[in-house]
A and B are shown apart, each in its own frame.
Chain A
């Protein structure tokens, strides 16, 4: 406490090394696998013209994302809490903007991208982080009212209905699922009345079910994943090829670069279905390693959250756990889709899939997590957070 600020900075380990290594490993795997999965596709496509097209872009995204992460790490968690509402509002504005024709770009029938000339921004990715920041802040602010239906639950519910409505207009059902899971889990962790939570869960399930039934395009996606072999050249095309990739991988995989599915059979091999390529090239062992790394990140996020909680730093605690929930649930959704356990949603695999917005927001979220950890360490040593 008597040391100079520079000395103090040095006495606290800046980063959680174990977490950093896991992230670094995943990002390295991502570089290799995005390249492997896209090489043939990029070379054959007249628009990209180079086999390293996606690798170069992905590397640039990653550098930018790491720079953004570095900046985010400098921001104390208190700042996020202070500006949680404004940040959430910004995400909402982006979600509205993307719906405006001329601003939002339509790809595959969904209006999900805002064209920023150099890159495309995906507002739903921003909303995922914003939901963590905002719902955590909301629960901390209203901690004493969380047992109340009208005062604790309904305001949050209203906000979520707006978000859900905007996401459905794109439509981006996958992002909606992620945002809902994040929000409900944080409310649950923050101690919302268990009966309200149960009611909410039932309502959410009903809402999801009704949306699926009412929207034929979603119903088609749902039925397609149940039995891809029923129509393997039509509705079940993508999934059947993904499953074949898993089957070909066996225990140890066919080897790096040797995937056949990525050779124009499996669509979206370098984005949503990158796990299928990993499964084919590295087998069950590769799957275990990747899932293990994600599990480790999730566990670390919760450990960091629990440490912050012990320090009665509840907001950082919830944010840390929120980041863990986000990465965990999106990883589950994506890999589940790849393996035919869930209907196709258009969700990327965090830290792994090709895609700038997702990479950027994932890295920022991890920077926030690392910041909470850094603050924990400082507090343990008796410094200010």
Chain B
């Protein structure tokens, strides 16, 4: 077929004066080539040179390290009764950044279910740049499920644990509490946090913009749950102790009070309470005064409850015997005068204890050089931290013997010029209950009775118990501390409080520390009533009844056989002359 005319025509159209310069083609093609080269160089720069920076930026946006919460260990009493348990709760949060606008009805539903004002939810969702805001923390799973059923995009739930304290206010000082983050903040929750909290697990994940997990970036570290912590506390005795202490503080219109119950054979703390207290489950109005674990962290001058120690020292040395008669007239030591509330010219050593004579006690103390008395006090733990394992424990204050003046030594024998905590004081009494051994005290259950430190001989301890039993009998300062069916040994104390360096005439601490059954001691109870204003302020009067109730109840709870079953009537305390002591 011959070429057609129009093909010639085609060529003629593009013929005239046209020229495409090869140089210009090279320029254009070269230009494009140059731009492509720029692209490759830029890609190389971004993907290789800048990769670390860019990947870090990326990680900041989509890499999340998630904590897999370990369940906090249970705190239980010595019989396995729970005192602190963690219950699963849900927290509702939202991601305003990836959220469509929430309608008014949805907002109202959310507000109703969360019990949060709608305006507050709206303001929390207002910042569209934020990717995490709490809407409400720690609500019940049922409540959380109801919220999730609303199906509002961007609202999510997350499991958390809430600590619950079944024993409430009666044990709050010992157990303490955790913060909203689950960390221990007070008490044993703080002291044993590492053991209780276990080890949180970790999961590093990639998340898409909506918060969904896409991938795990590292092996999941599973959480290790916290261990159960078994306390030495007996919940039943604790309850009793708290109830009676509260009663004692209220009846005596006192400022505060503390109580310690020890196992006299093992040194375990069976109960330890303070009043005022607080409810750890609801800490909305928490006064620092309520939070003080007074029995452990507050120091005070113990007054007459100190007297058994110098007397024990005198008995131990053989310089006196329980029946030794002493001149107990008021006398001068150095710059000061020592006198008794009810002066008597003559007393036996037993009567000195029973009637709490300052004169008799100080005379026995002054039979020894300061160093020896210091050694005795030191040996029963005064001035030393008892190390029961509670945060903020104090060791009290015992001055170095080198600069004791004689009058100071005399007053120290009846409990002035020396400071102790209630726990320390109760512990010191273990030398009488554990055949002369000072036992370590503990908040944890101990498997076997500890050896302790021999301070006095078993014989001296026996003699002291006999003498101290007289305190709760007719003619003693602690008749109100008697317990039906048991012989009770103890010592009352009434100390003036130091206010701005001077002993105040109207501020006292009433104390009673004792043990029972006196013949085979098992429990030590120490009661302290701070600033009683209900008329009487004598230790035997204000602290004695609480002591009696807790001791009696505690012995019953433990099933201790009465050592004086025949003694089945109580001495009617309001029909006998009250024996008081001023120290």
Give chain A's interface residues, CB within 8 Å of chain B.
Answer: 1-2, 5, 40, 44, 78, 81, 140, 143-144, 185, 188-191, 229, 232-233, 240-241, 243-244, 246-251, 260-261, 263-265, 279, 283-284, 287-288, 291, 294-295, 298-299, 302, 305-306, 309, 312-315, 317-318, 321, 324-325, 328-329, 331-332, 335-336, 339, 341, 384-385
Cβ contacts under 8 Å, A40 to chain B: 208
Is B25 in contact with A302, judged by CB distance below 8 angstroms? yes
Q: Say whether B35 faces chain A, with CB atoms less than 8 Å apart.
A: yes
Q: Say whether B15 faces chain A, with CB atoms less than 8 Å apart.
A: yes
Is A140 in contact with B28, judged by CB distance below 8 angstroms? no
Of A232, A246, A313, A329, which is in contact with the most chain B CB atoms at under 10 Å from its CB? A246
Cβ contacts under 8 Å, A261 to chain B: 58
| Residues of B28-70 contacting chain A, CB below 8 A | 28-29, 32-33, 35-36, 38-40, 42-44, 46-48, 50-55, 57-58, 61-62
Q: Say whether B14 faces chain A, with CB atoms less than 8 Å apart.
A: yes
**A279 in complex: contacting residue of B2, B7, B33, B43, CB < 8 Å:** B43
Q: Say whether B500 faces chain A, with CB atoms less than 8 Å apart.
A: no
Is B46 in contact with A243, judged by CB distance below 8 angstroms? yes
The 9 A-B pairs at the shortest CB distance, nearest first, are namely A247-B54, A264-B209, A263-B208, A144-B17, A384-B7, A246-B46, A244-B58, A314-B14, A328-B32
> Smallest distance from the beta carbon of A227 to chain B beta carbons, Å?
13
> Smallest distance from the beta carbon of A385 to chain B beta carbons, Å?
6
Is B14 in contact with A251, judged by CB distance below 8 angstroms? no
Is B210 in contact with A264, judged by CB distance below 8 angstroms? yes
**A325 in complex: contacting residue of B16, B28, B42, CB < 8 Å:** B28
Chain B 501-515 interface mask (CB, 8 Å, partner A; 1/0): 000000000000000
> Smallest distance from the beta carbon of A81 to chain B beta carbons, Å?
7
Cβ contacts under 8 Å, B208 to chain A: 40, 260, 263-265
Given contacts A143-B17, A263-B214, contact A385 B7 (CB under 8 A): yes
Is A329 in contact with B32, judged by CB distance below 8 angstroms? yes
Cβ contacts under 8 Å, B16 to chain A: 143-144
* Closest residue on chain A to residue B27 by CB atoms: A188
> Smallest distance from the beta carbon of A184 to chain B beta carbons, Å?
10
Of B16, B57, B210, which is in contact with the most chain A CB atoms at under 10 Å from its CB? B57
CA distance A325 to B25 in the complex (A): 11
Is B54 in contact with A325, judged by CB distance below 8 angstroms? no
* Closest residue on chain B to residue A306 by CB atoms: B25
Cβ contacts under 8 Å, A248 to chain B: 51, 54-55, 58
* Closest residue on chain A to residue B43 by CB atoms: A287
Q: Say whether B219 faces chain A, with CB atoms less than 8 Å apart.
A: no
CA distance A295 to B40 in the complex (A): 11
**A288 in complex: contacting residue of B3, B40, B61, CB < 8 Å:** B40
> Smallest distance from the beta carbon of B29 to chain A beta carbons, Å?
5
Cβ contacts under 8 Å, A44 to chain B: 210
Is B18 in contact with A247, judged by CB distance below 8 angstroms? no
> Smallest distance from the beta carbon of A294 to chain B beta carbons, Å?
7
* Closest residue on chain B to residue A302 by CB atoms: B29
* Closest residue on chain B to residue A264 by CB atoms: B209
Given contacts A321-B28, A339-B39, contact A265 B11 (CB under 8 A): no
Is A325 in contact with B32, judged by CB distance below 8 angstroms? yes
Is A332 in contact with B36, judged by CB distance below 8 angstroms? yes
> Smallest distance from the beta carbon of B48 to chain A beta carbons, Å?
7
Q: Say whether B129 faces chain A, with CB atoms less than 8 Å apart.
A: yes
CA distance A292 to B17 in the complex (A): 36
Give chain B's interface residues, CB within 8 Å of chain A.
Answer: 1-4, 7, 10-11, 13-22, 24-25, 27-29, 32-33, 35-36, 38-40, 42-44, 46-48, 50-55, 57-58, 61-62, 98, 129, 206, 208-210, 214
Cβ contacts under 8 Å, B19 to chain A: 143, 191
CA distance A261 to B62 in the complex (A): 9
Is B43 in contact with A191, judged by CB distance below 8 angstroms? no
> Smallest distance from the beta carbon of A298 to chain B beta carbons, Å?
6
Given contacts A263-B209, A325-B28, contact A81 B13 (CB under 8 A): yes
CA distance A132 to B33 in the complex (A): 20
Having A144-B16, A328-B35, one finds 12 other A-B pairs with CB under 8 Å, namely: A2-B1, A78-B10, A143-B17, A185-B28, A191-B24, A243-B46, A251-B47, A265-B208, A291-B36, A299-B29, A332-B32, A384-B7
**B39 in complex: contacting residue of A140, A305, A335, CB < 8 Å:** A335
Cβ contacts under 8 Å, A249 to chain B: 47
Total A-B pairs, Cβ < 8 A: 174
Is B39 in contact with A284, judged by CB distance below 8 angstroms? no
> Smallest distance from the beta carbon of A91 to chain B beta carbons, Å?
23
**B48 in complex: contacting residue of A188, A241, A250, A341, CB < 8 Å:** A250
* Closest residue on chain A to residue B131 by CB atoms: A233
CA distance A240 to B57 in the complex (A): 9
CA distance A108 to B126 in the complex (A): 23
> Smallest distance from the beta carbon of B134 to chain A beta carbons, Å?
21
Cβ contacts under 8 Å, B28 to chain A: 185, 188-189, 302, 321, 325
Cβ contacts under 8 Å, A305 to chain B: 20, 25
* Closest residue on chain B to residue A333 by CB atoms: B35
CA distance A163 to B48 in the complex (A): 41
Of B16, B33, B54, B129, which is in contact with the most chain A CB atoms at under 10 Å from its CB? B54
Query: Would you list 19 pairs from A and B whose C-beta atoms are within 8 A, ordered by A residue?
Result: A44-B210, A144-B17, A190-B20, A229-B57, A240-B57, A243-B46, A243-B57, A244-B57, A247-B50, A248-B55, A248-B58, A265-B61, A287-B47, A291-B40, A291-B43, A305-B20, A306-B25, A315-B13, A325-B28
Is A140 in contact with B43, judged by CB distance below 8 angstroms? no
Given contacts A264-B98, A302-B25, A312-B11, contact A247 B57 (CB under 8 A): yes
Is A332 in contact with B7, judged by CB distance below 8 angstroms? no
> Smallest distance from the beta carbon of A183 to chain B beta carbons, Å?
13
**A384 in complex: contacting residue of B4, B21, B46, B50, CB < 8 Å:** B4
Cβ contacts under 8 Å, B209 to chain A: 263-265
Of B4, B20, B25, B208, which is in contact with the most chain A CB atoms at under 10 Å from its CB? B20
Is B48 in contact with A284, judged by CB distance below 8 angstroms? yes
Is B48 in contact with A251, judged by CB distance below 8 angstroms? yes
Cβ contacts under 8 Å, B39 to chain A: 287, 291, 332, 335-336, 339, 341
CA distance A358 to B8 in the complex (A): 36
Cβ contacts under 8 Å, B57 to chain A: 229, 232, 240, 243-244, 247
**A339 in complex: contacting residue of B27, B32, B33, B42, CB < 8 Å:** B42
Is A332 in contact with B35, judged by CB distance below 8 angstroms? yes
CA distance A314 to B28 in the complex (A): 17
Is A283 in contact with B47, judged by CB distance below 8 angstroms? yes
> Smallest distance from the beta carbon of B253 to chain A beta carbons, Å?
62
Is B206 in contact with A341, judged by CB distance below 8 angstroms? no
Cβ contacts under 8 Å, A279 to chain B: 43, 46-47
Is A247 in contact with B35, judged by CB distance below 8 angstroms? no
> Smallest distance from the beta carbon of B24 to chain A beta carbons, Å?
5
> Smallest distance from the beta carbon of A233 to chain B beta carbons, Å?
6
Cβ contacts under 8 Å, B129 to chain A: 233
Cβ contacts under 8 Å, B46 to chain A: 243, 246-247, 279, 339
Cβ contacts under 8 Å, B55 to chain A: 244, 247-248
* Closest residue on chain A to residue B26 by CB atoms: A302
Is B20 in contact with A189, judged by CB distance below 8 angstroms? yes
CA distance A339 to B40 in the complex (A): 10
Of A229, A248, A298, A325, which is in contact with the most chain B CB atoms at under 10 Å from its CB? A248
CA distance A291 to B40 in the complex (A): 8
CA distance A156 to B525 in the complex (A): 110
**A284 in complex: contacting residue of B10, B11, B44, B54, CB < 8 Å:** B44
CA distance A127 to B155 in the complex (A): 47
CA distance A240 to B16 in the complex (A): 53
Cβ contacts under 8 Å, A288 to chain B: 40, 43
CA distance A299 to B1 in the complex (A): 35
Is B47 in contact with A246, judged by CB distance below 8 angstroms? yes
CA distance A187 to B18 in the complex (A): 12
> Smallest distance from the beta carbon of B55 to chain A beta carbons, Å?
5
Is A265 in contact with B62, judged by CB distance below 8 angstroms? yes
Cβ contacts under 8 Å, A317 to chain B: 20
CA distance A274 to B209 in the complex (A): 18
Of B40, B50, B52, B210, which is in contact with the most chain A CB atoms at under 10 Å from its CB? B40
